[in-house]
Structures are given as C-alpha cells and as structure tokens.
Chains A and B, each alone.
Chain A
Amino acid sequence: MFRCVLTAAALVLFAGSTSVHAQKQQTIGAPPEASNMKLVGTNDLQARSAYQPTIHHQGDRWIAYIGHHGGTDDVPMPVNPLTGKAEPNGTSIVDVTDPAHPKYLRHLPGQEGKYESGGAQMVRVCDGKTLPKGDPNAVYMLRTFGSEAHEIWNVADPANPALITRIGGLKDTHKSWWECDTGIAYLVSGAPDWRTRRMTQIYDLSDPAHPQKIRDFGLPGQEPGSTGAVPTELHGPISTGPNGNRVYFGYGTNKGGILQIVDREKLLTGPKEPTPDNLRFPEIARLPMSAFNGAHTTFPMLDMPVAEFGEDKDGKTRDIVMIVDEAILNECGEARQMVWFADVTTETRPMMISSYTVPEASGQFCQRGGRFGSHSSNESMAPVYYKKMAFIAFFNAGVRALDIRDPYHPKEVGYFIPAITNATDKRCIPVEGGERCKVAIQTNNVETDERGYIYIVDRANTGLHILELTGPARAVAGLPKN
C-alpha cells in the first residue's frame, strides 16, 4: 500500500508539472502569438544571431542592413548558402522592397568570435548625396567590426559592398549614431587608454573616405589617468542634430543606468582634452536611474503635445525621452528590465513620469526560457510612427506596440511573438551539476521604415520577421484600415 501512496504522489506531481510545462514553452509548428500585428514576410538570415536592423530607402528599393553577434558554441561560423563557405557572422543585406518576399543579397563577414566577442553588431546608413562631402552616387554603411573597429562601406550596389575606411585599434564597440546631414558620428568605442570598455569617440565623417577625429568623451572618472570608482559604461547616444542641439547618452545595460543630456554645440566645439572639467562642460543634466536598471536606448521625442494638458496655460507640450533597459539574464535571473518615460522639458530637472512592462503572467514568460524583459526600441524618427507609437523588442515576449501619444500613460496596443523554428537556438541556465536549456524566441531589436512596416530580428537565430499593424493599432498611427 505504501507503494500505492508513492505512485499516487508521483502521478500528481507529474501531471502538475507537465500541464504547466505545456502552457509555457513554445513548440515548432505552433502559430505565432499576435494581437493587432500580422506577419508579412520572413527571412532566416542564415540562422545568424541578429542585433541592429537599419532599413534604408535606396533609389526605388528598400534595403535592410542587419548586424549580427558572433557565432555560437555549436556553430561558430554558419555556412553562407550564397558562397558555400563558413563565414563569421557579420552584416546581412536584404532587399525588402517586396516585404512579403525579402531577398537575401549578401552576407558581409565580421570579426571571428562567438556571441558578444565577434560579429558586426551595429549598422547605420547615410546617402552620399546627404553627407556634406560624400560622393553623391554612394550610399555609406557604417558598421562595427566586432570589438576592434568601425568600418564604412559603399553599399550603392548592396550586393557588392566596397570597403571605404576603417577606424581600428579599439577594445570594444557598440551602438553608434551618425548624423547624415552633418556627417558627425558618435562612435561607441573602447579607446585603449580609457578606463571603460565603452565611451564616445566623436568623428567628422562628412567625407567618409577621410575621417576626422574631433574628440573623446565620457563621464569623469572614465578618462585616462583618473583613479577611484569608474562610472557606468556607455551603451549608445542619439543626437537631435544642429537644430535640436542635444545629444542624449544612455549609460548602463541592466544596472546603474544614467540618461545624460548634453549640449551638442559645446560638445563639438568645447575644450577637447579629456579632463574632468572638460568632460563636464557640455553636460546639461543627468538622470540617474535605479541601480536595478540600465539605459540601452535613450530615444528623444521633443515638443510632444499632450492632450490631457491641452487646456493648461503652460506645459501643453513636453520634451520626452523614452529609456529602454536591456535584460541580460535568462529566465528572470535579475530585476525586471523595462521601458521608462522621462519628462525633460525642464532640462536641468528631468523626471521619470511613467513606465511600461509586459505583464509576466500574460505569457508565463519567466518560465519560457531565454531572456524576458526589454532590450531596445525602434529608432526611426519617420513621421509614420514618431511621437505616436513605439515598438519595443522584449526578448521572449516578442515585439510590443505602444501607443505613446500620452507619454504619461503609455498603452500596449499590439504584439507579435514569432513561432520558433528548427534554427532557434537554446538558452540555458545553471542547475545542480550542469545546465538546463529551453528554446524560445529572443526578439532582440526592432526598426520601422517610412512605409510603416515593422522589422524584428532574433538573437536566438530565428531570423527576420516583417510585420504590419492591424485593427485598432493602425488607427493610433493614423494608418488607413487594411
């Protein structure tokens, strides 16, 4: 009878665990999960782990340039079917003119190495005719080359890029920003003599063939020769150019985040020697975040009319910065990384006004495997979505579409979680005596184009998904019904 008791207990346990398990994990062949967003087209990106997508209107074509992390332990160098060769992950170039049938044009190999230690994660694109001293027939792609260099390629013929220049000798790189109308580039670099892996090297790339260094920049305490505590490293800046005259720097990944608001003119023309005083000179304000959160993306949306304040005598419009943290650990092994909205209208007194996260219980995301939390937002300022909607890459919760017209009360109006495929890579956590792995979507980045298509890419090798809004979400952006 004692055996019966044990059997009964084991059955109860087994039944409980399998039913929960079945609800949580994605399976190959299951449909995507979606609300007010639908799939238009896909490309597998040669099963390479994807980071930043940039969509560029090039003549009568639309081209997606997609950066990749390094390879994986299992597949350090995936085979490129176009060449038949194993190539270290670099940049995928995809013709998305017909978003229902994306055409893979070229894989441009990056630095050898796995995960964060290789690849070519970041990419920005400017037309030569827009850059002050560019070749008007050229289209320039600025990309990172692993941790060691920044490169500029002429991608006027996107299937046959030509290397123009290289800025090397670095110990790391990350998410740079390039002003196409001035050529000023804020390159996230690891200058060898700085005490941090990531700071800013500012270059004049108005003539991409002849880069001119302007200065190095970072937080006091990061500069060469300093001592004591080292402030949080840079993740990436976004500039509003000469008209807005501001650069918004985001420091931190999943901890100790800082939003730094900088006067662009003072940054470019002020004293350049990296002393603590000179580094402080262009700073207008800082917004230190909780130690629990970092600042991956600091996306400015200035002069936003807020309907709720429409009858107020003052403060009808607000300057807003959307701050997106990056989740790092699998299966909720850290504090929640999410989205924050800061009102920076009074620049020296920036204040956090609202936040957004995917409700964990809506998909039992902590149990699905891989990372759950935010990573990045779209960075396009094209009118179709700017100051109306934001799209957030949320790892195993896919992409989330937010109505941000009232940034004091952001609302989710749609989402899309792609189905996993045979290419989707596992994500593991340590357990007693080894590892336990699960397979889940890891939507890493999102970008939009001027037509309103939404491009999401996957860190776990599931490729590119091109989406469009449906139903009420289209009305938020003022798009016609489909």
Chain B
Amino acid sequence: MPETAATVSLHAVPPIALRRRITDHVMTGVAVLTVILVLVPLFAIFAYLVYRGIGSINWAFLTQTPKPVGEAGGGMANAIVGSVFILALASILGVPVGVGAGIYLAEYGRNRFGDVIRFTADVLNGVPSIVIGIVAYSIVVLYQKHFSALAGGAALAIMMIPTITRTTEEMLLLVPQALREAAYGLGIPRWRTTLSITLRTATSGVITGIMLAFARVAGETAPLLFTAFGNQFWNLSANQPTAALPLQIFTYAISPYDEWHKQAWAGALVLIVLIVTAVAAVRFAVRRGTFGAA
C-alpha cells in the first residue's frame, strides 16, 4: 500500500520538486545523525564512569588517605576534603566581589564605564585557566615562597568572579523597576532598597549564577597544578600544599599502576556526582523559583 502511495506522489510532482524533497529528507537525517554522534560520547562517558568507578568506591576510598604504590587500599578522603576546602576559600574570596560588581553594573553601571567593566568581565571569562594558574602562582606562591591552598583558592576565585558578576547583573535587571520605585516612595534609601528589595527579589537567580560558577571551577585542574599542588596527607591549613580531587585524578590517571587507575575512576565518579547534582539543583531551582515565574 505505501508503495502505491509513493508512486502516486512521484507522478504528481515534477522532478525538480522530487530532488528538493529528497534533499529535505537527507538533511533531516543528517541533523538526527549529528545529535546521535554528540550524545554517544556523553552516554559513553557516563556509562564508563559508573561502570569503572562504582566498583572502586568503598568505605576506605571515602575515609582514608592514599597508600604508597604497591599497597592495596587507601583512598582520596584528603583530596575530597581538600577540594571542598579550596572551593570554600575560592567562594569566600570570589562571591562577594562578583555579586558586588554585579550590583554595581545593574544599579550604577548603565554607562560607558559600566560597559568597560562588562567587557572586561567577558574577556576575563575567556582567559585560559592555566594562565590564571600562572598569575596566582606569581602573586601568591612566589610571595609566600611555597605552594598553598590559598593560592589555589585565589586562582579559582578569579575564575568565579566574571561569571557571578554577569549573572548577578542580569538577574537584578530582571527585577521590575516599579519595585524599586515603590521602595523609594516609602523613603527607603537607595542602598537599603538594593540590598533588601532588589537583591532579595533576585536571590534565587543570583544563587543560580553562583552555583554555575561553582560547578565550573569545581572540576578545574589546570590552575591548581602549581598553586594548591596536591598533597598525600591531610592538610587543613590555608598556607600548606593541599590535595584536590581533580589533581589526584590527573596524577593517578597518567600513572602506570592499575590500582591507581581504579582510584582515578572512582574519584572521577565522585567528582561528577558532586557537579551534576549542583547543575541539576540549579535547573530545578530556576524552574520552580518564584523569581523565574515573575
């Protein structure tokens, strides 16, 4: 039956239209093919992470420090805690500056000077992370004369600031002007309006931006190579070299030992679970956030 229908339509349309129609179908097919080709690596990566990682995650992995080569067991507990520590330092340094710059751009920066800052933030966003590592090295490490968690935190903070600045600005601009005017009308000073009305209204959006920046730097390895440097032992001093999950994964992945490869997969799975949870939480928050509906 479909064959006759096809022949009928073949006769019904002139040959030029047939060629065009075939091209149309072929291009649709090509588009579908590109989607498949892009999604295959995505699923392959996640499948391998779960497949290779889950077998190597155990209590020891989450609670112990690395064992020397050749000894079985050991874990990445110090690297997990070190990562959290460095990220906390980065957030303490980066979030206030980023949010402040965002407020400046949204509330006072609708001019040339604001454009300059805006453009600078965009440029800063594109600076390769390894270059930021070099700068953190020459500012903090050369000054302190040794590697430290603080240097790593500073590098990651520099990477967080532009993202937070731009999203904060965007979110504040979405707050209706009438809300600000209502506050001014009640005699509330401008700074109070910005903090308690505008920023408060945009909270969920601003937090989204902060979390996006956080997720972006959480997996960064390159800027930590010669700032936080890594450490085989526990360290919770901001002035000492500190282990970080991505660094540990890198070291173990390029090592020749099977035992370390397994640990690298486990570490990668832990890292990705942390990051994907953050991203999914962000999307969820945006979708049901009171602000998104406004």
Are A and B interaction partners?
no
> What residues make up the interface of B, taking CB atoms closer than 8 Å to A?
none
